[in-house]
Structure 1
Amino acid sequence: MTRRTLALVALVVVALAALVPTVNTYVAQRQQLSELRTQVAQQEAEVEDLRAQVARWEDPSYVAARARERLLFAMPGETQYRLTDTSGRDVPLTEAQQAAEEAKEGEWFSVLWESVEGSSRLTPEDIPDEVGSTDEDVPEQDPADDTDDEDTDQ
């Protein structure tokens, strides 16, 4: 190898050492910029949805419809009827009321745990007797005692 070739190889290695981190930084920044543009586009769409909701709430008929649905308001002169099921409980009229009723009942595991806790507080009086073990079914004397009485009579 000549000195020229060695100098050229050294120059290429130094140039690569200087350019590789710069190119990596450039590519990483381009990816980050692309992600941020996507995020901005999503946020702009969300802002447009929120503006549409605000515009709906500025409409008096929309506000009246929501008040009727959520708060069960009625216009003057109207009669409201409340439906009940066979148990006498109110039938939920809206999805929001149904969701509130389900949330009030609690999660399945909390209901299960309350049942376990409740069963641990039972007293012997709370537990029903087994079939055939009532006081009427049990004789007052033990059958073994009857044979002893017959033996003593003879």
Structure 2
Amino acid sequence: MTQRLTPGGQGPARRPGRRSRAAPPRTGRPVARGAEVKESAESGRSANRPAARRAPVRRTNAPQPRRFTGRATVLVVVLIALALGYTYPVRVYLSQQSDIARMEQAQADQRQRISELNEQAALWKDPKYIEIQARKRFYMVKPGEVPLVVLTDPDGAARDAGVPPEAGESQPADPWYDTLWSSIQAADAESDR
């Protein structure tokens, strides 16, 4: 059976039909505090006993609340378990979202490339465009026309004309296989010594 508390929350409530042991019998008239003490002294119960000696008051420390109670520990463990449980699905979700974004970007790039190729295919259906590309890429000319090729590289033009390069100009490097062969010959010469 549980104890009932008074509305003020102070101690057990009085049960109906019972009187408190410490409470004096109630009368219809108000009793002063001094008279109440006198009445209890006259009752005879405490007349034979000596007065209770009061012990000196000792200072006591209030109990310190524990920092981590069992409930708090269980709550922390549950939160950690939930965090660990949701970590993998969230990571999978985020990687799938990045994959989707990457694939959508690749599709957009391919659509752009397809539209460019369609435009280029439409150009190749025009005979004038084909003629321009043949002249430009393959230096083709119609019969009776004289082709004119402009060389913009002065060193290349001099080399094609057979003029030797000047002494101050850098000579082109030997091909890689000549360099390799000369290093092999130099290594053989050192090993023979």
Normalised by the size of structure 1, how large is the TM-score? 0.48
- Structure with the bigger percentage of helix: 1
CA radius of gyration, larger in: 2
By relative contact order (CA 8 Å, sep 6+), the higher-ranking structure is: 1
